[in-house]
Structures are given as structure tokens and as C-alpha cells.
Structure 1
């Protein structure tokens, strides 16, 4: 059977609808718009599957080797070897059946696909969504190493690119920065004015210690003690195995003298942003980028984010955002108080912040760049090359 030169296999390590999952949808849409014949391989079923099928992309659920950090510890080695073997066999069979001309590898934690693509004579394009400069350099190098087999490596921020340079300089020569395209409603809901009653704070994302969700509650408590009423909405759920952290958050919330809504996971975030006053992105650890911060700016809401890693690129440079030291609840509370005190001036600047974010993170431009990379065309005007 001859190989279809327009056939593309997209592989992704999950089936949820968080940051990298949403970017996968944008990538697939760009490939389809370019007239490529796309199939998506996922390791499990989930809400992402329905979204992909709705846009016309066939989905195959296949056993897949996903390199989680716990597998790198000695007690995880038997599972690592077992899933690596079964994953390689399943991937080889799928490549034999589909015979794609190109493979788009979404994230660095599915390391077998670039190597197998090279063996099968297919082009591979790795899209790096991860960057943890504070982690172990040798583990980072191990994660990046298989992607030397890819002909092209896309990264979502300058911080991600510098992390690659730090961990595996040989990979940097084929890397290109493509800032995330972030979807936005055509018209965002203006913030309320005047700012009366409780200050409505919103957190969106995974409930995990590294994301600093407990800092949101601590900052809210500090603000409440200063005499300013607050209400907190936590939009998201915990990773499997981190249920203990959500329980800890619920206990922390019960000890506070303010309302906390554990809203759970919702695919539609804009109604929650419309009901909020300020979005908080208080990550303790490195983030490769910060889609959530950009979504807050697009929704015409002030954003308070940690002044670190990719969050600095996502939220920096806007008059309506505040960057604060990581892991500092008092700094969050101080920034909240400042924004509330300057509310009329902040509100006046929100439309211009939204306009800038729309230009910088246009989904249509992002989709064109992904399609160019996967199809092997030269980067178009405005392509960020490192």
C-alpha cells in the first residue's frame, strides 16, 4: 500500500481538556484546514475524543507508553519496562496500518513515536509543551533526548526553548518558538463597575500543590482579615492520586470566613470568567507558558500570576496584570488590594489588554504555523525562530 503524502498521525498522551489538550484541538483544526488527512491516536477515552470527532478527525485508542515521573523511580521500573514494550508494539502496528507521511508528537512524554517514525521513514514533528528548569537536569535531558529523532521541534515559549538549551543543547538547533493560539469569545463580558460587595476571585486549572491553589485561599483569608469581603471559585479537579490535596483544600476553605465554591471541571470557562473580578495563576513551579493567564486577559479580567518561567511571557507586559513572587500569599493579597483600590483605572485599560492578547495569540495564525511545520513548508512571516 502506497503512503498518502497528506496523511498525518497526531499522537497525544491524554484525553482531557486542560492546557495541552486544548492546544491539540487547535493544532488538529489547523491541519484539517490545510487539507491534510488527520488521524489522532490517544491512550484512553475522554472528553477530548468527542471534540476531535466533532471537527472531523478520526480517533484511535491505542496502548501508549506515557513517560510519567513516577516511572523513573526504582519502584516504577517494572511498569516502565512493561508499558514501554506494549506501547512500542502497539505503535508499530498502528504505523504499519496507517502508514502516515508525518507524525505530530504532542508533548515530550510519549518518547517512542519520534524514534519509530524515523525507523518507518516518516517525518516527525515534536511539540514541546513542558519546561521545568528547576528540575533535575539529567531527567530533563532524558525526556528531551528521543526528540532528536524529529526533524522539527516546536516550543511554546522562549522559556521552554531556554530550558531545552540548558538540558540538551543539540536539540536547540531544530527548535522554533510558536506561541500558543488562545481561543476567545467574539465579545467578552465587561467587568462590573462599581466594585461592590465581595471581591470575586477565580482560579482555573488542576488542583495540585505545584499550581499553588492553597495560596489562593491563604491570600483570600488575609484579605478577609483586612476587612475586604471575598468569594473564591476553584474551577478544576485534582489529578488521580492527588485527591488528598483537594481534601486539604476543602479543610482549608472550611477554616476560613469566606465563601469558596469548588466548581469542578467544566469545558466552558467563559461564564466563570464573566462572573469573576480577578483571575489568579499562582503556580509555585515552572510553567512552560500560561494559557490560563491569557484567557483571563482575553476575558477582560485583571490577572495576578507568578513572576516566573513561561508565566512571565504569558502575563507580562499588560497594564492589567500583576506579576508576584512565587509561593507568596501575602504578595497575592497585596496585589488584590491594589487592583481593587485602582479598579476604575484597571477597568479602563482592560480593552487594550484584550486587543494586544488577541494579536499576540491569534488561533488562526497558530493553526497556520502548525500546518506549515507538519507539511514541511518553510515558516511563514512572523514565525518565531530561536
Structure 2
């Protein structure tokens, strides 16, 4: 049985976390033994164990913006030293045939894999076209050492090409596999009562929940009844943003119209209870799993017209794209959902069928499996990996 060592920067259940889980399932289906290295415990751990993976919790260098500032350099050095030692030990013990590096924020793993003589695969889930090309090139550079490179969208691939063409030439786009709910509840036949709007994702400025809160205020001023649910939690260290968001809700007098649900592993009950899903990101997104999930769940979606979200939500009759950061445009789009409700309800099934064809988990797993097979063919002798 060949062994794949997966490396990932967190243990939550957001976009790239769920794609790691899908990649592990793909490997297990092909008979691989899977070992997953994580820097912390979290809900992803139980999900991975349920898929048949072995979990190793160990220090890891995870690149965050705070570490790249001068004040963060001492912590960057410490994390680099501890992460390198931990990765070296894990590779020695696991004796993998391949190392699967999930995201570019853990740059030590391709380096350690190359030094240990183990072929690696890098899966790129990040893309900021508006960021510095030099910084992007530095972030992507360690992944030149990988045997294969997967990108989660054409937008991500274009961003790589603009910063590091040599890496882009070796990359393959693999559309995220997004699982549909087993039995999605149909949308309400009639909108009796307020429009139920759901935000699903990180509570962070770049994800745009503040734009949705502002749009809810505008809707109230227009006499359009709406109730907003915010399903998610902030990154550690970003609790201040949730505090600011709650304060803005109070100041706008929206305490009865905005609910903070916190983080939940299983989101489908919340999606079933909503009328429309909103993805209001304010800056580049490499993709938008949440938008696809909303469409698969038979719900209309309003998303920002930017970057990878265009790939995720574009081309569906029940999805609307609006300028990012524009609360007025978002409020207008939600008001149109109310006005066109009968038309929306009649189109959700066709949109869901289209999304199932575009983002079938089986197709995603087949691409990942092929990348693993290619890596296995290039694998060094087992003794070298554990030397």
C-alpha cells in the first residue's frame, strides 16, 4: 500500500479544508495509506479520521501577514526552525511515496520533501491578483520544487502566471469538487414574511459580511423586510472584527434583523432555512465553494463580481453578480430576488443540475488520483525517503 503524506495549515472546515478532505477520500479510494500533518486540533481532525486517515499534530510554519511584518520576524524564524524539524521527523517516520502540500501558506513542505527525495504535489488554493507580484512570486517559489501543481481555478492559474510563469506552465486546473446536500429542501413557494438571507463563511473584512449588514440597513430604509443570518467565526486574532460587526448592527438598529450563528460543522440546516445565499467578498477570491453550495442547495445566490467568484457563480440563471463592496448594488440585487421570486423558484433545479455537472466530487477525485499516480511513478526508493 503506497503512503501519501498530506500537509495542511489548519484544522477547520472551510473551503480549502474541505478540499483537503476530498483529496484524502480520493487517495483512500485508490488504496493509499494517508497520513495528515496538521498544526492544531479542530473539526477537520474527526472528518479526516472518518475518511480513514492517520493524523499527526506538529508545529508548522504557516505564513500569515503578521509574520511578514518586521515585528513578526522573530516568530517567523522560530516557526521556520520548529516547522522544519517537525516536517523532517514526520517524513522520516511516515516514509511516504508522495507528499501532498495543500495551500501555498506552508512553504517548508516542498523543500523538505525534495531534500528527503520524495516527490511532492502542491495544491494552490490562494490567488490575489491585486497583490504585489514580487510577494506573490516569493510565496509561490517553494512550490517550484513540487513534482505536480494543481490550481483550484483558472483565475488562480492566471495569478500564478503573472507572478511566476515557470510554475504556471506546470500547473493543471482542477475544479473544486463540491458535494450537494443529500435532500435539499425546496425554496418557499411564497415569500411570506421577511426575505431570509444567509452569509456563510469567515467573519473577516475581506469576506464582506459588513457589506451585507449595510445592505440590510438599506433594505429596511426602503421598506423591504429581510432577516440576515451570519454563519461563521473569525480567525484567531480577528475577534475585533466580529466585535465591530456586532456594534455596527446595534448602531443601525438591526438587532432584530441580524443573527450571529457562530461556526457549525453542518451548515445544511441553515441553508435549508434561508431564501438566498450571499457571498459578498470585497477582494479577490481564488474560487467560491460557498456560492456553489448555495446553488446545489436549490437557493438563489448573490455574489461579488470578482476573480474566482465569477467562475463559481457565473452562468447560472439563479445567480446574480454585483460589484464587490457595493452595499447599494447588493441591496438592489436582493430586492430583485423578492420581485422575481416565482421566476427564481422555477429555475433553481436547472441551476443545481448545472452545478452538479461542473463540480462533481467524482471528477475532482479522479484528477487528484491521477496526480498521485504520477507522483508514485516518480517516487524515490522507500529506503531513501526514510534515510
Secondary structure of the structure 2 residue equivalent to 1:256: coil
Q: Name the residue aligned to 2:323.
A: 325
- C-alpha displacement at 1:104, in angstroms? 0.4
Q: Tell me how large the CA RMSD over aligned residues is.
A: 1.2
Once the two structures are superposed, residues 185-222 of structure 1 have per-residue CA deviations (whole angstroms, 9 ceiling, x without a partner) of 23311100111211101000011111111111110111
Question: Is 1:160 aligned to 2:156, yes or no?
Answer: yes
User: Equivalent residues in 2 for 1:32-43 (5 A)?
Assistant: 32-43=28-39
Question: Is 1:202 aligned to 2:180, yes or no?
Answer: no
TM-score, normalisation: structure 1: 0.95
Q: Distance in 1 between matches of 2:93 and 2:143?
A: 23
Equivalent residue for 1:29, pick from 12, 25, 32: 25
Q: How many residues align?
A: 374
User: Equivalent residues in 2 for 1:241-252 (5 A)?
Assistant: 241-252=237-248
Q: Distance in 2 between matches of 1:212 and 1:91?
A: 35
Question: Is 1:301 aligned to 2:291, yes or no?
Answer: no
Q: Name the residue aligned to 1:147.
A: 143
Q: Name the residue aligned to 2:335.
A: 337
1:269/1:178 CA distance change after superposition, 3 Å: same
Q: Is the 8 A contact 2:279 2:303 kept in 1?
A: yes
Question: Is 1:256 aligned to 2:253, yes or no?
Answer: yes
Question: Is 1:180 aligned to 2:176, yes or no?
Answer: yes
Q: Is the 8 A contact 2:128 2:285 kept in 1?
A: yes
Secondary structure of the structure 2 residue equivalent to 1:376: helix
Question: Is 1:95 aligned to 2:96, yes or no?
Answer: no
Q: Is the 8 A contact 2:147 2:375 kept in 1?
A: no
Q: Name the residue aligned to 2:381.
A: none
Once the two structures are superposed, residues 318-375 of structure 1 have per-residue CA deviations (whole angstroms, 9 ceiling, x without a partner) of 0000000011000000001111101101111100000000111011111121111012
Q: Distance in 2 between matches of 1:42 and 1:371?
A: 21
Q: Name the residue aligned to 1:265.
A: 263
Secondary structure of the structure 1 residue equivalent to 2:106: coil
Q: Distance in 1 between matches of 2:48 and 2:199?
A: 26
User: Equivalent residues in 2 for 1:67-86 (5 A)?
Assistant: 67-86=63-82
Q: Distance in 2 between matches of 1:62 and 1:79?
A: 16
Q: Name the residue aligned to 1:384.
A: none
Secondary structure of the structure 1 residue equivalent to 2:183: coil
Q: Name the residue aligned to 1:223.
A: 219
- C-alpha displacement at 1:239, in angstroms? 1.1
Question: Is 1:286 aligned to 2:284, yes or no?
Answer: yes
Q: Distance in 2 between matches of 1:365 and 1:34?
A: 14
TM-score, normalisation: structure 2: 0.95
Secondary structure of the structure 2 residue equivalent to 1:163: helix
Q: Does 341-350 or 91-100 show the bigger shift?
A: 91-100
For structure 1, which runs of at least 5 residues remain unmatched after alignment?
379-386
- C-alpha displacement at 1:377, in angstroms? 7.5
Q: Distance in 2 between matches of 1:220 and 1:174?
A: 45
Q: Which runs of 4+ in 1 moved over 4 A?
A: none
Question: Is 1:14 aligned to 2:10, yes or no?
Answer: yes
Q: Name the residue aligned to 2:374.
A: 376
Once the two structures are superposed, residues 5-40 of structure 1 have per-residue CA deviations (whole angstroms, 9 ceiling, x without a partner) of x11101101011111111111110010001011111
Once the two structures are superposed, residues 124-175 of structure 1 have per-residue CA deviations (whole angstroms, 9 ceiling, x without a partner) of 0000000011111111111000000001100000000000001111101110
Equivalent residue for 1:57, pick from 44, 53, 56: 53
Q: Name the residue aligned to 2:130.
A: 134
Secondary structure of the structure 1 residue equivalent to 2:330: helix
Q: Distance in 1 between matches of 2:34 and 2:164?
A: 31
